[in-house]
């Protein structure tokens, strides 16, 4: 699964963190951006650590053809026309507030919504 957003510094990193937390290494998980930032949002790192998920060691990166080639599902989060579209992939667009520059309370809400969506997507993919 590939999670894409603009800066790959918040939403997509939190989504990848949730999926890795829930599945371990059972599903290939990638996170990337159309215009990667310099670092992962420290408030997103803090919010995820509150639920026992460590995303402190990840870095923003640009999506690659290799990433897309290895996944069946691409989840976009606000990158619009800048996000790639390839044939034979399932695409989902999650409209989520961008946590960039926001306080911890707001980022917690985004974190929790992403967690619910990742959980629902995983249940849909696995039939339960």
The active-site residue, picked from 1, 2, 4, 5, is 5
The active-site residue, picked from 14, 71, 79, 114, is 79
Helix, strand, or coil (residue 127): coil
The active-site residue, picked from 32, 48, 83, 121, is 83
- DSSP secondary structure of 58-79: ----B--HHHHHT-SEEEESS-
Q: Minimal CA–CA distance to 61: which of 3, 1, 102, 121?
A: 3
Does 102 qualify as catalytic in the annotation? no
- Annotated catalytic residues are 5, 79, 83
């Amino acid at each position: 699964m590939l999670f894409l957003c603009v800066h790959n510094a918040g939403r997509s990193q939190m989504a990848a963190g949730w999926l890795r937390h829930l599945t371990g290494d059972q599903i290939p998980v990638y996170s990337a951006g159309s215009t990667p930032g310099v670092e992962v949002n420290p408030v997103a790192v803090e919010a995820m650590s509150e639920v026992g998920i460590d995303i402190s060691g990840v870095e923003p990166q640009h999506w690659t053809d290799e990433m897309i080639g290895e996944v069946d599902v691409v989840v976009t989060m606000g990158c619009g026309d800048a996000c790639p579209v390839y044939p034979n992939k399932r695409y989902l667009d999650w409209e989520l507030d961008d946590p960039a520059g926001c306080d911890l309370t707001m980022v917690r809400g985004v974190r929790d919504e992403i967690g619910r969506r990742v959980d629902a997507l995983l249940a849909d993919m696995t039939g339960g």
